[in-house]
Each structure stands twice: as structure tokens, then as C-alpha cells.
Structure 1
Amino acid sequence: MVFLTAIISLCGLLLFSTTAAAALDPAERIVWRKTPITLELGVGQERMVHFPGPVSVGIPGALQHRLRIQSSGGTVYWLAQQAFPPTRILVRSLDDGLVYLLDVAAAPEGGNAAPMEISLPRQLSPATHDERATAPETQGYVSLTRFAAQQLYAPQRLQTPLPGVVRVPVPDAPVPLVRGGAIVSTPLASWRSGHRFVTMVQLSNTSPEAQELQAEALRGAWLAATFQHHRLLPAGDEADHTVVYLISDRPFSRVF
């Protein structure tokens, strides 16, 4: 009986020690130095990751049903519902657009449940960080076009801001953008990045004939023009409209 009592007491002590160790699990502190951060998860164990400020997380399509992510301010809660191999996930700061790279993996057993705290290098003091965040920055053609397309087609949770990009007013009345008269062009939205502008314009076919879209048919001095689709089906068809993304060095209304 004494021996059995000793075993029970020992088991209780081990259980208490394990629980206490989990409760007192110290946070894993990492300084962001542009090197991808490894985040290990255990299936069914939620893990918190703290960032210097509010962030948005882009979940790859392959993980949509394997990983649940919830974000509150600068804290992101990760819960793996199924095991998955190391996968690169981008986390973007909502304050200045800084991107953190995380290599996330989940295992059926084990995993690390300790909170993780990600901080910026000391040389990035709040003052320096604010100066960098407010410094003017001009995005490239591809970045601006991709950004505009995200605003129209991507789910809100996948829409990510670009540093220095601000929305600017644009006329919402139809304009004679495409030569020929068969296509109605209606500006939808416009953004500015430094000395560049990107404007999203809807093109609608009003004729009974299909229309091929070519940049040469556009009026105005554009630095770049990207069509979402290059062919419009006859008016009344579901595919009788599309969008063109226009890059310019002046506001949209001044390019004509």
C-alpha cells in the first residue's frame, strides 16, 4: 500500500510539473533581420505570435482547411487543424507595409506552444521607424498593377497595403478612353505612389460583336496598360466587360 501510494504521489508530481512547465513556458523572442522565421505548431495547440504592430496574414490556398489564423492588433493566433510541411507565409505590417516571412509547419505530436515575440532591431527606433514609414516611395508598374487588381478581386483578408500608396479621387462618369465607340469606359478607382498613378477602368462592350482589346486603341499618354482580359464578348454576355489598369505620371483626368 505504501508503495502504491508512492507511485500515485510520483505520478501526481510529474503531472503537476508538466502542467506548471507548460504554464510557465517562456516566450520565444526573435529579432526580425530579414531572415525567414521558423514557426513550429502542434496540431490542436494554439500558439500566439506577437508583432511590433497590427498585421495582416496571407494564408496560402493549400492551408485554407489545415490552418486557422485569427489576428487581433499585433497578436496573431495560430491553430493547426491538420499536419502540414514547412510553408512560407507572408505577414504584412498595417502601419508601414513591412513584410515578415514565416516558415510555418505543423506536426501531429509535439510542436512548440510557447508564445513568440517578434521585434525590430534596436537601430530601428520609433523615430527612425516612423520616418521610414512616412518617407515617400514610388512603387513599380508591376506592384501598382497587382495592388489595384487585389482591391477589385482579392478577398479583403488578402488585400495588403503598399508603402506610400494613397487613394486619390477620379471622375466616375464614362470617358472616351477606347477608340471606336463600341466600348464604354468608366473609371472605378485611382491611387498615387510618389510620381506615379494607377487607375482602374471598367470596359463594357455595347455592340453585338466581340471586341479585341489592344493598348494601341487607348486614348491618352499611358506609361503602361494591363487588361484583365483581352477579349470582350457581345453585349449582354457575362463576359462583355473587363478592367484595364493604367499607369501614368499624372492624374487620370489630366492624361487625355
Structure 2
Amino acid sequence: MKAPNCYSPAQWVAILGLCFFVVCFAQADDAASNGPERIVWNKSPIVIPLVVGEERLVHFPDSVSIGLPQTLTPLLRTQSINGTVYLLARQSFEPSRVMVRSETDGPMYVLDISAAPGEAEGRSLPDVQILLETPQDTGAAESKYGMRSRPWGYAALTRYAAQQLYAPTRLIPRQSGVVAMPVTGETVDLVYGAKVESVPVAAWKVGLQYVTAVKLTNRTQRAVVLDPRELRGSWLAATFQHNRLLPAGNEADTTAVYLVSDRPFDVAL
């Protein structure tokens, strides 16, 4: 694969040290109204009420496995995928203790899960996002768990994705709580007008957000100026590595776009 607009390692370090220009599409009010219920893990059991027949998602800082008591097996369906646990109660049951174990170096969580019938015209319960405590002493070094609970901004997500693809190996950051997501590597219809070929090459999930790197290649004999308004899909932010592509066949006919979303790439597209 041709590297998009190749630069030397020194140039990449300089580029990645800059703040990315990020185009934001989400409205703050919408995000606040549809946001998850955030709970900080402090070793006390986390109460998770469910509505029978309605799936509820619980997001952890990293990948986890859930240990279900045998008595709950016929009553509760559970799935754990990339740090998100999907819970679906088949019928009502009293509060039951469930253990959730981190698959990396995180803690073991304790959940008290119960289920009750839903009320007529009742609102669906929000997702739950579990965070890890940060040190109270601001002068002390941050713990590895505190780093995970800090929210990532769009620029930080974009910078991380770019570093993973292009920075020298010794400069690639190692961040706990970042989960690599699978991509198909097949051409997708991302840019209106069929002038630019789009292929997802890598994706990551951090908390409730996703960032996907997509290779863009000019397939015409004319230079193309990329415009975020010409992208299909529902994105929180879009950042082009370069916003101008030279005609097909030139070294600069290829670049990358980093797309931040609140759902996996194929769903947001």
C-alpha cells in the first residue's frame, strides 16, 4: 500500500506535535441529553437495574469477562465485546451479585443486577460508563487507572490514530483502555461524487467513542480538494491528514482521514 503523502520520521514528529484541525458535527446539547450514566468504581458494588426485554450496555475502561451465577443463566443474557457488556433480562429477578473481571491489568468489578417489568411509555435506561478513580492529590503522579478515566478529546483521538499509522515505532504511545477494532479493508462509499476511493485501514475504541483511519486515493486525473461536508455518514469529527490530493499516479494522490464517531464505523457510515 502506498503510504499517504510520505514524510520522514522527523517531519512526522513535527506534524503530530501540532494540534489537528478538527471539524465537529455533534451538538453539545444532544450529547448531554443522550449521554451515558457515569459511575466511578470505588470498590462499592455498582447497582445496575434492568427493564425486562430491553438491552442495556455497560462500558468498562478495558476488555472484561463476566462471571454469571448459575441461578441467573436462564434469566439474563450477557455478552462481553471489546470492553462493553450487553445485558438483556428475559424475566424479572431480585438483585443478584455478578463479578466482572478485567482481561488486562484492571480491577475486578462487583455489580448488583436486578430486573423489573417496564412501565407503559417508560423511557429506556441509559448506558452505563464505568470510570476508574483519579488521584485526589493533583501534585502526585497519575496512576495507570487514573489515566484511563480521563476523557479523550477529538484531537487526542485523532493524534493517537495518526501516530499508530505513521510515527516511528519508538514514538508510538502505549495507552491502556484503547481497544483495537477490526476493519474489513474493503472499499467503502465514503466520499460523494465517486472521485475518491476510500478504504478503512484501522480503528480503535476508547470508552464510548471510536476513531477510524480511512485511506483516501484520488482516482481522477485532476487535483481534488477534500471537504468534510462531502463525507457520507454520521461523524462527531473528521480530520484530513492533507485536504488536497494530486491527480492519480502522483505520490501525493493519497492521504488519510480520521473519523471520530459514537458507534462503530460500519454503523456510523
Q: Structure 1 length normalisation: TM-score?
A: 0.48
Greater gyration radius:
1
Q: Which has the higher contact order (CA 8 A, sep 6+)?
A: 2
TM-score (norm. length: structure 2): 0.46
